[in-house]
Amino acid sequence: MKVVVVILFVVLVFAVFLGRSFRPASRRHEARKAQAVRVRELLGKGCFSPAQALSYLRKINPYSFEELVLDGFKKAGYGVRRNRSYSGDGGVDGRVSKDGFDYLVQCKRYRGYISRQDVEDFSRVCTRECRRGFFVHTGKTGEGSRDAAGWLNNVDIVSGDRMLALVGFTDKTSNNEDK
């Protein structure tokens, strides 16, 4: 009888420990998703110029940026599969699908030029998984990175206006009456 009580106690302690160890990560994940929703709403109000919006996006939490990008793909009609955790993702921040095609997504918050090596590394992941990929970033795409994406032929770089449109940016600061 004592053995059964001890076993039940150990199982109970183990279950409580497991429940607590998984809950904070889930809460953090939900918090990042909620921040991404707030950022998307703010960008959609038209309070920023494109340059200000890029500057703002470079400052938000990188995991919230990932959530913002994946949410943008969802709103664009893609099916979205999120990773269970943000770190240790093997270079893939999410997976999206549309019209029977699956794509890998890599998100980077850069201030300067994106690294050609990062584009090549992501291309290798895409090749290994037999998928095309979207390399979404807030930085500048230099000639080397653009060339690499061109000859690698399995990575689509999404930056600048395309990235801003994807994450829900609305530019109401420019005067469109003369156009």
Q: pLDDT tens digits for 78-126?
A: 999 987 766 655 679 999 999 999 999 999 998 899 989 999 999 999 9
**pLDDT over 60 (residue 23):** no
* Residue 176 confidence (pLDDT): 46
Q: Where are the extended beta strands (E) located within the chain?
A: 79-82, 94-98, 101-108, 132-137, 155-158
Is domain 36-166 annotated with CATH 3.40.50.720? no
Q: Are strands 101-108 and 94-98 parallel, antiparallel or unpaired?
A: antiparallel
The confidence score (pLDDT) of residue 146 equals 83
Q: Tell me the three state secondary structure of residue 157.
A: strand
pLDDT of residue 30: 87
d(CA 15, CA 164): 44
Judged against a pLDDT cut of 50, whether residue 17 lies above it is answered with yes
- Sheet containing 132-137: order of strands: 79-82, 94-98, 101-108, 132-137, 155-158
How far apart are the C-alpha atoms of 65 and 72, rounded to whole Å? 10
User: Cα–chain-centroid distance for residue 150?
Assistant: 22
Q: Hey, which residues does 107 pair with through a beta bridge?
A: 136
Instruction: Provide the residue ranges of all domains of the chain, joining segments of one domain with +.
Output: 36-166
Is residue 161's pLDDT more than 90? Answer: yes
- Whether residue 168 contacts residue 75, with contact meaning beta carbons closer than 8 Å, is answered with yes
